[in-house]
A = this chain, B = another copy of it.
Amino acid sequence: MTRIGIVGYGNLARGVECSIAQNADMDLAVVFTRRDPASLTIRTPGVPVASLDDVLSWKDKVDVLILCGGSATDLPTMTPALAKEFHVIDSFDTHANIPAHFAAVDAAAKASGHMAMISLGWDPGLFSVNRLYASAILPEGKDYTFWGKGVSQGHSDAVRRIPGVADARQYTIPVPEALERVRKGENPELTTREKHTRYCYVVAEEGADKAAIETAIKTMPNYFADYDTTVEFITAEEMKQNHSGLPHGGSVIRSGVTGWEKECHQTIEYKLTLDSNPQFTASVLVACARALNRMKDRGCTGCYTIFDIAPADLSPLGRDELLAHML
């Protein structure tokens, strides 16, 4: 059994709790919170909630800590700090800062003889590892990543910060024609606008200037200005009824050529269709916790990513079963 401690209890952490319940070799030992532990009720019967201040007293009772904080402010300090005391896993997803985060976590984990895995989930994570496989196999080719249809939480938050907006949900949607061209092997050059559209459902506050809100959204730099964006105003009830889930997904496509005259076209596509983005990300973290537990038992220390995990270490099945039934 791998004994897991979860840090945090937001959407991702609750997904980790559910995933542990689906894996017979995984055991939830404790949930840590920065709030008053008495204020938190978790789903798994008999599992304690502890204060994050007391985390060190759990060192002998936890094999792997899964850190479910945010990438903007929590993980950059939390992961290196906890890697000094525990084997840790995170889902750090700010792509541009991954090298710096890796270096900080690696130094902390190596110095203390612990093992860490960072940036796990689906992007970064499964999408990344599929980009790697596909580019290694088809060295002459082009990569495309399409996201959606799905809820982008960062973009939804950005809309919610606009004055007069009571609630908002932003869906990222791949442009079907662009996807089709890539799948056909046309290797098009696509602008940001040609790859994805953005669709915003907005609940306006009473008396708010809807035209001003729409303009504020559509002209927002980085988030919306480079996209064709549609804004639709709905009621709070419609929001609750139709947009309370967090679906997401997308496709990683490598379109390449082989042959002496590069005469053959080959396409590799990896596609996710997810009802729940946080639950799926959580399921990746739990499978990786299994791998970490095995790798640290073999003496691995320092920081790793999904690129360093031999796939067999992710599976509860032994080698004989894998050879006989999965190869």
Q: What sequence of 0s and 1s flags, for each residue 283-327 of chain A, a beta carbon within 8 Å of any chain B beta carbon?
A: 110010010000000000000011111111011100110111011
Does A72 interact with chain B (Cβ within 8 Å)?
Answer: no
1/0 contact trace for A39-57 toward B, CB 8 Å? 0000100000000000000
CB pair A323 B258 closer than 8 Å: no
A269 on the interface (CB 8 Å rule)? yes
Let me know if B272 and A258 touch, CB within 8 A.
Answer: no
Q: Which of chain B's residues have a CB closer than 8 A to the CB of A138?
A: 283
Nearest-Cβ distance from residue A90 to partner chain B, whole angstroms: 13
Among A139, A185, A322, chain B packs the most CB atoms within 10 A around the CB of: A139
Within 8 A of B (CB), among A17-50: 17-19, 21-23, 43
Q: Is the CB of A133 within 8 A of B273?
A: no
Closest Cβ of chain B to A37, distance in Å, is 21
Do the beta carbons of B135 and A324 come within 8 Å of each other? no
CB of B315 within 8 A of CB of A135, answer yes
Give A305's nearest chain B residue, CB to CB.
B327
A18 and B259 within 8 A (CB):
yes
Cβ proximity bits A260-280 to B, threshold 8 Å, 1 near / 0 not: 100111111111111110011
Whether A197 is near chain B, meaning CB under 8 Å from some CB there, is no
| Contact digits for A132-150, partner B, Cβ 8 Å, 1 yes 0 no | 1101111110000000000
Taking a contact as CB atoms under 8 Å apart, the answer to whether B273 and A258 are in contact is no
Kindly identify which residue among B18, B137, B260, B269 contacts A271, using a CB–CB cutoff of 8 Å.
B269
Question: How far in angstroms is the closest Cβ of chain B from A273?
Answer: 4
* Interface assignment of A8: CB less than 8 Å from any CB of chain B: no
Contacting pair A264 B279 (CB below 8 A): yes
Closest residue on chain B to residue A265 by CB atoms? B275
> How far apart are A118's CB and chain B's nearest CB, in angstroms?
9
Q: A132-B315, A137-B287, A268-B271 are in contact. List 14 more A-B contacts (CB 8 A).
A: A18-B258, A18-B259, A22-B258, A43-B260, A99-B323, A119-B327, A136-B287, A185-B273, A258-B279, A266-B283, A270-B271, A306-B327, A307-B311, A311-B311
Could you write out 17 A-B pairs with CB less than 8 Å apart? A19-B258, A98-B327, A99-B323, A126-B268, A130-B270, A132-B311, A132-B326, A133-B311, A139-B316, A258-B280, A266-B273, A266-B275, A270-B270, A305-B327, A307-B319, A307-B327, A310-B310
